[in-house]
Amino acid sequence: MQSARYPQCNFLRLEVQVRCMEASGVKRLKKLEEENAELQKMFADVSLEENAIKELVAKKSW
């Protein structure tokens, strides 16, 4: 899978880096991805709550 924008050596270098990644590195990456997903959900919840509060305040404003 190559792109015309990037030389082949970049793809080969990336492939070597991925293949050389140790199991602990893969586990760490997986853990970070899971943590990121959880943080994104938390942010979405807080954003919804904030919008609901803003709407409530706007309705009750005199």
Query: Does residue 51 form part of some domain?
Result: yes
Asked, for residue 9, whether it belongs to a domain, the answer is no
Domain that holds residue 47: 23-62
For range 47-59, the mean pLDDT: 94
Residue 20 pLDDT = 77
Q: Is residue 2 part of a domain?
A: no
Q: What is the pLDDT of residues 11-42, one digit of tens each?
A: 888 777 777 777 678 888 899 999 999 999 99
For residue 35, being part of any structural domain is answered with yes
Residue 14 within a domain: no
What is the predicted pLDDT for the residue at 11?
A: 80
DSSP string, the chain: ---TTS-HHHHHHHHHHHHH--HHHHHHHHHHHHHHHHHHHHHHHHHHHHHHHHHHHHHH--
Asked whether the beta carbons of 2 and 11 are under 8 A apart, the reply is yes
Residue 10 lies in a domain: no
Residue 1 located in a structural domain:
no
Question: Is 17 within the bounds of a domain?
Answer: no
Give the residue, 4 or 52, on which the prediction is more confident.
52
Residue 55: what pLDDT?
Answer: 94
Non-local CB neighbours of 29 within 8 Å, separated by 6+ positions: 21
pLDDT for res 3: 53
Domain count, the chain: 1
